[in-house]
Copies of this chain bind each other. A is one copy, B any other.
Amino acid sequence: MIIVLRRGEAASEVEGLLSDEGLEYKRLVLYDRDVIVAWGPSEDKAAEKLRGHPAVELVSNVGSKLQLSSREWLGGDSVARIGNVEVGRDFIVIAGPCGIESREQVEEAVSAVWSAGAHVVRGGAWKPRTSPYSFQGIGLEAAKWLAEAAHSKGLPAITEVMDPRDARQVFNIVDGVWVGARSMQVTPLLRELGRLCRETGKAVLIKRGFGNTLEEWLLASEYVMLEGCSNVALIERGSRCWASVSRFSLDVAIIPVARGKTHLPIIVDPSHPAGKRELVEPLALAATAAGAQGLMIEVHPWPEKALSDKQQQLTPGEFKRLMEKLKLLLEALGRRMAPQPKA
């Protein structure tokens, strides 16, 4: 259960009561609120005692496995901040190459997505490849190229972290990181990123594993938030399904269903389920129409030469046309594309 404390009130009495009931608990500051999350067999009993307690503003004990990620206690949508970009209010677009392959490539890519109106730049410094004989990424150096190129345009940059031993260095360079689909349940990594998020205020985005359930995805975000990180967003990128007619199946129902369960912003990556350039646009439009709060799209200055995901990265021209369609679509639905941050 979640206990939101009143500002300025001493929490020690509440903590004492939780201890007495044999509950495990942790005190956190999340979304500018003073919060205690507590768990154990006697949750219901403790909740009853805490309701009406003068130090307690709210007790949320909905019997779900979800706690910090649950929509109930926060009431509405939360907002994640990637540098100067707010995720969870107006619609935002994260774009950039699958993998960072050279300084020139990443500069070209950043310039292209910036001029088309993207809000955040992405690029893989390390690549989680199925085969060890495929391009594995350049590493930390590439993250620096990415950040420099992005920052020069006034945009924040994000990259993937796979190894907890790299995490601190990466947080020193970029404005946020994402956890890849293949690492979504690697709890030591999630905890490490949560701690660094709390320390630095930088964002953590969590991709749903292609073999993971909605509940597992939300519980992955609990690992991050339980370290005191409230700068979290979720990225949907499709599932493996026998019926897939593209690389992965994008079941758009997950967007409204997830939004009903969690306050966290839901971003959709249409590039991975598409697998092919020509499917990125219909999937991007569909995800937006279904309620996604942003998109993450792979764009490469010259996709035919890409060292990974060659088939699915958009050209700068394709990305520009898609951005224009998205704007019209959002307006028709009574929503709007966020303004691009200024350099």
Which residues of A come within 8 Å of B, CB atoms? Answer: 24, 39, 65, 67, 128-133, 136, 162-165, 182-189, 209-216, 219, 222-223, 226, 239-246, 249-258, 273-274, 278-279, 282-283, 285-291, 325, 328-329, 331-333
Q: How far, in angstroms, from A236 to B174 measured CA to CA in the complex? A: 38
B278 A256 Cβ-Cβ under 8 A? yes
A67 B133 Cβ-Cβ under 8 A? yes
Q: How far, in angstroms, from A189 to B166 measured CA to CA in the complex? A: 12
Q: How far, in angstroms, from A243 to B244 measured CA to CA in the complex? A: 12
Cβ contacts under 8 Å, A289 to chain B: 282, 285-286, 288-289, 329
B257 A251 Cβ-Cβ under 8 A? no
Q: How many copies does the complex hold?
A: 4
Who on chain B is nearest to A187 by CB? B128
A186-B182, A256-B279 are contacts. A251–B245 as well, Cβ < 8 Å?
yes
Q: How far, in angstroms, from A239 to B39 measured CA to CA in the complex? A: 30
A132-B223, A285-B333 are contacts. A246–B253 as well, Cβ < 8 Å?
yes
A241 B245 Cβ-Cβ under 8 A? no
Closest 8 CB pairs of A and B: A211-B211, A332-B332, A163-B188, A182-B185, A239-B243, A285-B289, A286-B286, A289-B289
Cβ contacts under 8 Å, A249 to chain B: 239, 241, 243, 249, 251, 253
Cβ contacts under 8 Å, A211 to chain B: 209-212, 240
Name the residue in A39, A132, A250 with the highest tally of chain B Cβ atoms < 10 Å from its Cβ. Answer: A132
17 A–B contacts from the bound complex (CB under 8 Å): A24-B133, A128-B185, A128-B186, A130-B219, A132-B226, A136-B187, A163-B164, A165-B165, A182-B184, A210-B211, A243-B254, A249-B253, A256-B278, A256-B282, A288-B289, A329-B332, A332-B332
A251 B242 Cβ-Cβ under 8 A? no
Name the residue in A189, A239, A282 with the highest tally of chain B Cβ atoms < 10 Å from its Cβ. Answer: A282
